[in-house]
Amino acid sequence: MNYRFLTAAALTVLCAGSASAQQAQISIYGFIRNYAHVDSHETKALTADLFSYLPLDNDNDAATWHFSAITSRLGVNVSGYEYNGVKVGAKIETDFYSGVSGVTGTATLRLRQAYMTLGWTNASLKVGQAWHPMAADMPDVISLNTGAPFGPFSRTPLAQLDWNLGGDKTSFWSVTAAAIWQQQYTSAGPEGASANYIKYSGIPELYAGLNYKWKSGLVRAGVDFLSIIPVQDDNVRMNALTPFFYAQYSKGLFSAKLKTLYAQAGEHVNLNGGYALTTDGDYAPTRNSSSWISLSYGKDWQAVLFAGYAKNFGTSEDIANGAHIYFSKNSFVNMNSMYRLTPTLIRNFGKVTAALEYEITSVQYGKYDSAHPDQYLDTGCALYNQDLHWVTNHRVQLMLKYSF
């Protein structure tokens, strides 16, 4: 392959683009981030074991450790271009998670975000792959899970409209409306986790929210609606409604954040949820209460405390059997409740950050036999309530990051 020719062609295209849109401003950002951690119990974890989810329901207390830089990131922001009074911007962002199977492999580039924005005086439109509206606001932990599964975690294709209802630059109300697709983070179902179920439905996931922002804080309240068809030929829908609330406040070096939601299903945004086939041949979503709070103080030296709690309430209808419960691929149908406490100490040296974090995650499981999924199941609510027991993992994590 003639690499000189390809390089020259690429430079020609870039120069042509710069000449035709000289008003556009391009800024590159990113970081090199290294994680090292030790776990005390076997854990369900993603992204080369960096994205800790929950400890497995077993007796494996053999300590494991891991080190990786695959979450290093590179992004490009585009701004400054205007056409007929409409401000046009864009973002594309990538890291190196793709290519790793388990904890082994050679990491390659993968797409995190890629969207464009159109801005008017009182409104903005975002189109492309971006953070789900319920996942965009995050706690201050250094962990890659950013509080999941106690809060939604999803980057997904969407079209999102934000409309300013009035006020000044420091205090105003706005509304958010979004139509959302599924891609990397998907619903569970008979085929496993897949975007086919929303493809069959012909209806995008829908979100509507009201926001109020002032100088020292922000409040959001909204509701998310999902309608999928798990089996295309049956044409039977699973409908789920999730109310959501988020608030943050800051004063001086202190910051407090809170997020809570009562999710139906929710596995498509990394919550402990799903749905089940009912005795009537319909689908009933599980109900999941998930909340977290994050407190932070400091600048050069920063102390953070995160606390999260999740409770699985099961379904509100009788279900057919344990073989037709479709639950989060990152969790387990016998998960009853769980909590996490995460104190973090951060030292900032300009653009260099070093941090030490301790994460304790404990899960209450019910007795479960995978060979006989009906044996300990309460079919009235799709819960495993017998012989409840706690399983705990302790993770100690170090992070070193250089941002540019």
273-293 residue pLDDT tens: 999 999 999 999 999 999 999
Quote the pLDDT of residue 24: 86
Helix (H) or strand (E) run with residue 346 in it: strand 335-349
Counting as low any pLDDT under 50, the low residues of the chain are: 1-21
**pLDDT tens-digit profile of 219-255?**
999 999 999 999 999 999 999 999 999 999 999 999 9
pTM of the entire structure?
0.91
User: Which residue pairs, CB below 8 angstroms and at least 24 apart, start in 261-264?
Assistant: 261/134, 261/151, 261/152, 261/289, 261/290, 261/291, 262/287, 262/288, 262/289, 263/287, 263/288, 263/289, 263/290, 264/226, 264/240, 264/288
Quote the pLDDT of residue 289: 97
Quote the pLDDT of residue 164: 95
Calpha distance 117→363 (Å, rounded): 41
Quote the pLDDT of residue 48: 86
Pairing of strands 283-285, 51-55: unpaired
Calpha distance 394→335 (Å, rounded): 18
Write the DSSP assignment of 186-241 as a string of letters.
Answer: -B--TTSSBSHHHHHH---EEEEEEEEEETTEEEEEEEEEEEE-SSTTTT--EEEE
User: To the nearest whole number, what is the mean pLDDT of the chain?
Assistant: 93
What is the phi-psi region of residue 230: left when phi exceeds 0, alpha when psi lies from -120 to 50, beta otherwise? alpha
Quote the pLDDT of residue 5: 43
Quote the pLDDT of residue 167: 78
Residues in the chain: 404
Calpha distance 391→313 (Å, rounded): 19
Residue 187: which of 285, 281, 319 has the closest Cα?
A: 285
Quote the pLDDT of residue 343: 98
Q: Can you state the percent helix, strand and coil of the chain, rounding each to 5?
A: 5, 60, 35
